[in-house]
């Protein structure tokens, strides 16, 4: 059998590439294996705390009730406690969106949480007062 005659160098290069591809085929890509460490990495390390428990803990630390934290009142000490509760929920429940968090706080808009988080970035997270009440032990 006679070898075909190629006039253009490009055609010759294409023919050589086909020949090499037939003689030395590429190995098939390996099949993906199920890895145990991937499954472990996707599971949370700690169980998710309910938002109501987080709000209750923050309210108790600041001396308020959970109903006051969730309610419509807006005096300074209560806002500090509510902002701390926003921060605690955002930190401990990254699976929740800001809209979901805001709805758990008395059906508020997500921008309330966003602005509170921005204020805490500027001024710091409010901490409960460690002062003893006047006349108290």
What CATH number is attached to the domain comprising 107?
1.10.1750.10
Mean pLDDT in residue range 51-75: 93
* Alpha helices (runs of H) in 1-137, residue ranges in sequence order: 9-23, 36-42, 51-62, 66-70, 76-92, 98-104, 110-123
Could you give the number of structural domains in the chain?
A: 1
Q: Which has the minimum average pLDDT: 16-25, 32-41, 89-98?
A: 32-41
The 10s digit of each residue's pLDDT in 31-62 is: 766 655 554 445 555 678 899 999 999 999 99
Indicate whether 71 belongs to any domain: yes
pLDDT at 37: 53
Indicate whether 11 belongs to any domain: no
Q: Which has the minimum average pLDDT: 12-16, 47-51, 119-123?
A: 12-16
Indicate whether 9 belongs to any domain: no
State if pTM tops 0.75.
no
- Residue 96's domain comprises 51-123
């Amino acid at each position: 059998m006679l070898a075909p005659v190629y006039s253009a160098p490009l055609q010759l290069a294409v023919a050589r590439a086909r020949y090499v591809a037939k003689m030395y085929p590429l190995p098939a890509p390996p099949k993906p294996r199920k890895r145990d460490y991937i499954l472990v990495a996707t599971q949370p390390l700690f169980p998710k705390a309910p938002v109501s428990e987080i709000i209750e803990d923050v309210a108790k630390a600041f001396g308020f009730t959970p109903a006051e934290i969730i309610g419509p009142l807006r005096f300074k000490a209560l806002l500090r406690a509510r902002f701390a509760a926003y921060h605690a929920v955002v930190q401990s429940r990254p699976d929740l969106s800001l809209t979901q968090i805001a709805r758990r706080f008395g059906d508020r808009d997500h921008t309330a949480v966003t602005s509170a988080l921005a204020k805490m970035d500027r001024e710091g997270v409010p901490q409960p007062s460690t002062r003893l009440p006047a006349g108290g032990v």
